[in-house]
Amino acid sequence: MSEENKRKTAFMMAIIVGFLDILVLYLGTIRPDHIGWAVASTGIITFLGTLMLINHLSKSTDFDKGEVRKAMTGAFIVVYFSLVSLLTLTDIGISDTELAKTIIAHFTYLVGIVVVFYFGSRAVENYLNLPQKPGK
């Protein structure tokens, strides 16, 4: 497959994943009972879609740690923004409770930890792959 066709296919895959995420969130807000399922489904769709997209763009057909790490980080961030926007911008009634505030606070810490470990593990991986200087 040529590089141009690969990029076009990747672009279409990204649009489909984004559309599915928005559709699931919209359908989840029709009834407040389904919001939890909508947020969880958004995370699963984003994780699998990002994993397929990154693997499609890579030179190898095997999954490696970097691809899974990117997909997990992307899914965590999408779920976080979905959860925050649903609890703060909609009138579903549960956003004023102490439980919702605690969930948002703890999920904010969790997303921060995931992002820090993502960039930290990349830095360590790059450091370990550097050629060693002679005499050290």
Whole-model pTM above 0.85?
no
In Å, what is the CA distance from 20 to each residue of 57, 92, 104?
20, 22, 24
The residue behind tokens 């899914």 is 75
| DSSP, res 131 | P
**Which pLDDT value is given to residue 13?**
94
pLDDT tens readout for residues 4-16: 888 899 999 999 9
Give the integer Cα–Cα distance in Å for 88 and 109.
18
How confident is the model over 17-21, as a mean pLDDT?
Answer: 95
Helix axes 3-28, 35-57, angle to 10 degrees: 180
pLDDT digits (tens, 9 = 90+) for 29-65: 888 788 889 899 999 999 999 999 988 888 777 777 7
Residue in the block written with tokens 């810490």: 109
